[in-house]
Amino acid sequence: MAGNLLANYVQVYVMLPLDVITVDNKFEKADETRAQLQKLVEAGVDGVMLDVWWGLVEGKAPGVYDWSAYKQVFKLVQEAGLKLQAIMSCHQCGGNVGDVVNIPIPQWVRDIGEANPDIFYTNRRGTRNIEYLTIGVDDQPIFQGRTAIQLYADYMKSFRENMAEFLDAGVIVDIEVGLGPAGEMRYPSYPQSQGWVFPGIGEFICYDKYLEADFKAAATAAGHPEWELPDNAGEYNDTPEKTQFFADNGTYQTEKGKFFLTWYSNKLIKHGDKILDEANKVFLGCRAQLAIKVSGIHWWYRVPNHAAELTAGYYNLDDRDGYRTIAHMLTRHYASMNFTCAEMRDNEQSSEAKSAPEELVQQVLSAGWREGLHVACENALGRYDATAYNTILRNARPQGINKNGPPEHKLYGFTYLRVSDELLKEQNYATFKTFVRRMHANLDYNSQIDPVAPMKRSKPEIPIEEILEVAQPRLEPFPFDKNTDLPV
């Protein structure tokens, strides 16, 4: 019986604080971190997740990497007997929900941006976003002879060489490849630092000279040299109906609008594909899996235009699955998909935002499972209550426990955002411990769950036409029970 139940066990990871390592790349919180790890071990969690900031490690000069602080943290994680999910964080920390520290991308990269600000994502009014390099420079050798993709690849190579002891020992089990702002595969369409507030639709962010030229070339090749990037899609805090682009019968439904949205979302898919291919070469043979994070943009999900998803680069409509395309690309790299907002209930959202996080989670998880992926989740906001935990538990095993073996669908893992004094307070900690045990199907912690095989080489590139074939029709999600059968 226990053997069968074990197939229902979902691993739980916990994010470490954003400021574990100081802004000058020092580890000064050894005692505090050790105490936190000990409490997490007592709670039965399987591992922790940690941002590995490019801006800290290669901050001093190009090709000069300092991993000493991270090695100290990893050592403590290893000593605690926990597994580690490492995020290759090539974005800025600061300017998004929950960012308590400010860690920009490397200064020498920003210096290049002083002379050439088009290396940064740009909105229609020309406002630059310095959180992450535009995908327009992925293949431009303008970083002292290196392209952006080469910068990321070299960073991962140095990580691989310097962290070999932790990779070889099986401590690092997950390499989450950062692909955009907040580490998510998306455009920075809703930056709080530029005045965006929920539930604004956000803006298309593709007006740097590199992406403009790319679009112009694509439109010309398609026989429409006169087509330009959208100029009628509104501003960050608009509602969809205020714009011509997202209005009923708006531009998004025209031939020109569909061409733009396909181009915009395809650029994002290709960006993820290229960087994952580099990551796969770097970590080939390691007992770790690659992962990416997809953002849970649940506002305006209930209107036909899905405006906030579209501006972020997810071309998702009621009749088009903008997440299955991403999942299909990931199959090439045996990569897992990590999705957010697993704790949210529709009835907690304001009606004006036309928000539907539960439906969104069900759509995205189903898309990943249909493609045969390992699918993981996170919560979007810090929560300590039973309602949130029970929602996560429902999403972790949509049809509950199967006493005879593996459930038809289950999450590969869940990462809790994040460890804090608040989480470790008496009642919050007691509830969290119960939650971990429920995720483990009421079984004891087991380090042998889902052992990771050595990484295989990525399969050949999937043509974009083939990726787009899975977008339509958008299939119904798999059945999800209303409530979990193992509440906390």
Residues with catalytic roles: 184, 378
d(Cα 477, Cα 102) in Å, to the nearest integer?
39
- Give how far Cα 447 sits from Cα of 173, 238, 265, 453, Å: 12, 48, 39, 15
Q: In whole angstroms, what is the distance from residue 324 CA to residue 470 CA?
A: 6
380 in a labelled binding site? yes
Selection from 236, 223, 37, 219 nearest residue 123 by Cα: 236
154 is in an annotated binding site: no
Sequence-distant (≥ 6) Cβ neighbours of residue 37 within 8 angstroms: 48, 76, 77, 80, 82
- Three-class secondary structure of residue 61 per DSSP: strand
Cβ atoms 16, 417 nearer than 8 A = no
Torsion sign (Cα): 391, 300, 122, 467 = positive
Residue ranges of alpha helices (H) inside 81-208 are 107-115, 148-162, 164-168
Helix axes 30-42, 68-80, angle to 10 degrees: 30
Q: Does the annotation list 91 as a binding residue?
A: yes
Give the separation between CA 6 and CA 448, rounded to whole angstroms: 10
Residue 345 labelled as part of a binding site: no
Residue 311, marked binder: no
Is there a binding annotation on residue 298? yes
* 403 belongs to an annotated ligand binding site: no
Distance (Å, whole) CA 428 – CA 432: 6
- The Cα 119–Cα 122 span in angstroms is 9
Q: Environment class of residue 456 by beta-carbon count within 10 Å: exposed (0-12), middle (13-18) or buried (19+)?
A: exposed
HEC string of 338-350?
Answer: EECCCCCCHHHCC
Q: Rounded to an integer, what distance in angstroms lies between the CA atom of residue 106 and that of residue 95?
A: 16
Neighbours of 464 (CB within 10 A): 15
- To the question of whether residue 139 is assigned a binding role by annotation, the answer is no
SS3 416: strand
Radius of gyration of the chain (CA): 22
**Who's near 216: CB < 8 A, 6+ residues apart?**
225
Q: Tell me if 237 is assigned to a ligand binding site.
A: no
Residues at the binding site are: 51, 91, 99, 293, 298, 340, 379-380, 418
Residues marked as binding for substrate? 51, 91, 99, 293, 298, 340, 379-380, 418
